[in-house]
Amino acid sequence: MSFKQKFESKDLKPKASVQALGCRLNQYEGLSIEGKLRSEGYEIVPFGEDADLGVINTCTVTNEADAKSRNAIRRFSRKNPHAITVVIGCYSQTSANEVAMVDGVDYVIGNHNKMNFFDYVAEEKPASPVVVRGKIDREDFSMGQVGEVHFDQRSNLKIQDGCDFMCSFCVIPFARGRARSREWSDLFMEAEQMIEKGVREIVLTGVNLGTYESQSKNFLNLVEILGLLPGLDRLRISSIEPTTIPAELFGMMVDDQHPLMPYLHVPMQSGCDKILGLMKRKYKVQQMEEFFTEATEAIPGVCIGTDMMTGFPGESESDFTKTCETFLTFPFSYCHVFTYSERDGTAAQRSEDQIPIEERRRRSAHLRQLSASKRLDWHEEFQGKNVRVLLENPKNGHYGGYTENFLKLMIPIKRENLQNKLVQVRVGEARPEYCLGQILNVES
């Protein structure tokens, strides 16, 4: 008898709770797992409530991510000591034995098997944790039937997984495997399903988006053809590696007939050539300067964001200063700052030139201050202007939403039931994380 059949035999509807930690890709997978569980007859309840089954999709990109994963596991198992606790994802792939030692864990399932984790769950809690960690192959993959997924107005669409770039600091090729792409027909089936269910903006997500290649189709082909889907208002690219961005995208971003939004999030990781070399990144600062100049000239109003890492082994104070100068002089609207974290198995972890953690954190705090200042300056450029916003579900008396170029607006609720509507908004007060706004009219 399976775990689910145990409840069916008693005419009960089991409850399941899913927690996805970390990246946008993990969030997408968490929603897909919820959909599959609903299709199997489960009631999905918020994480932290009483449940019969808990699924934690873990992250391992930093030591802090590992700690958050362990805390989520313990929190669920303490609340639900008799439930089945299943831990999946990146932390399970790279550190299965470590995960199995966390109190309350019943199943540890790596990335290759996580989307069909239920095949391994038995009727009763096992006497000791069961570990399933298969080798991740390089074949094109399918998400299959995603089940009863509850999509938002802006929804992620997974198109790719894994990475071949092998940056010296990164554990992702070990956690998610080498680069592979989603089957073309399977990808478009879900995109069409999203649109049918009312999704107006699709956000392309993966580990290394620009390397997509399936059935002789590449990333550029994918964006071109997704843009032809009837009913899709907006198409947005999430984080994309600098050397994989085709310049042909610029024309789509300025084409009123194409839904691709004028937005690029390009992780540079450092603004210093010496550190980029140690990181084994595939470009130098001057190349990126030329690229961003081309992008801003070709796409009026484009928003460009980046990632920067501080405290990488060997980063001197002058190297860090150079990164700060690069961030300030390049046309970035904001920066996501990451403090370097040693990851087992990576080349950087073996370096003898590690930076003290206190100094890493000091540099991160400084760069975050620069980013906050630059983001506020960008927000202030929009004060008094009219912009087009896709409204999201109301919360705390406001509609949230984003413009085409990813400016975040918070709008006081004066009319009900405007979520998922495109509206014209007058931008008001600029704040560090968003701008206030007032709705002028509703378009559609």
CA gap 436, 325 in Å, rounded:
30
Identify whether residues 253 and 371 lie together within a single domain.
no
| pTM metric for this prediction | 0.93
Identify whether residues 322 and 430 lie together within a single domain.
no
Residue 150: other Cβ atoms inside 10 A: 11
Q: DSSP secondary structure string, 155-205?
A: EEEE-EE--S---TT--HHHHT-S-EEB-HHHHHHHHHHHHHTT--EEEEE
Which residues constitute the domain of residue 116?
A: 3-132
Identify whether residues 390 and 368 lie together within a single domain.
no
Identify whether residues 243 and 180 lie together within a single domain.
yes
Q: Determine the residue type at 52.
A: D
CA gap 165, 145 in Å, rounded:
30
Residue ranges of alpha helices (H) inside 202-356 are 219-226, 248-254, 273-279, 285-298, 317-329
Closest CA relative to residue 217, chosen from 172, 243, 186: 186
Residue 228: other Cβ atoms inside 10 A: 10
CATH code, 40: 3.40.50.2300
CA gap 163, 172 in Å, rounded:
7
Domain count, the chain: 4
CATH code, 411: 2.40.50.140
Identify whether residues 390 and 367 lie together within a single domain.
no
Q: Which of 380, 396, 411 is the last residue of a domain?
A: 380
Identify whether residues 109 and 85 lie together within a single domain.
yes
Torsion, Cα of 86, 90, 91, 95 (10° steps): 110
Q: Which of 223, 243, 261 is the last residue of a domain?
A: 261
Identify whether residues 19 and 40 lie together within a single domain.
yes
Identify whether residues 338 and 402 lie together within a single domain.
no
CA gap 341, 321 in Å, rounded:
20
Identify whether residues 163 and 92 lie together within a single domain.
no
CA gap 199, 368 in Å, rounded:
33
Residue 314: other Cβ atoms inside 10 A: 16
Residue 364 lies in a domain: yes
Closest CA relative to residue 334, chosen from 383, 297, 378: 378
Q: In what order do the strands lie in the sheet with 15-20?
A: 43-44, 15-20, 53-58, 84-89, 107-109, 130-132
Residue 278 lies in a domain: no
26, containing H or E segment: helix 24-39
Q: Which of 380, 407, 423 is the last residue of a domain?
A: 380
Identify whether residues 10 and 128 lie together within a single domain.
yes
Q: DSSP secondary structure string, 45-80?
A: --BTB--SEEEEEE--SSHHHHHHHHHHHHHHHHH-
Structure tokens at 196: 């049918």
Residue 96 lies in a domain: yes
Residue 141 lies in a domain: no
Taking only the tens of pLDDT, the chain with its 444 residues reads: 455 555 555 557 899 999 999 999 999 999 999 999 999 899 999 998 999 999 999 999 999 999 999 999 999 999 999 999 999 999 999 999 999 999 999 999 999 999 999 899 988 899 999 999 988 988 999 986 666 777 789 999 999 999 999 999 999 999 999 999 999 999 999 999 999 999 999 999 999 999 999 999 999 999 999 999 999 999 999 999 999 999 999 999 999 999 999 999 999 999 999 999 999 999 999 999 999 999 999 999 999 999 999 999 999 999 999 999 999 999 999 999 999 999 999 999 999 999 999 999 999 999 999 999 999 999 999 999 999 999 999 999 999 999 999 999 999 999 899 999 999 999 999 999 999 999 999 998
Q: Kindly give the pairing relationship between strand 408-412 and strand 398-402.
A: antiparallel
SS3 319: helix
Residue 269 lies in a domain: no
Residue 285 lies in a domain: no
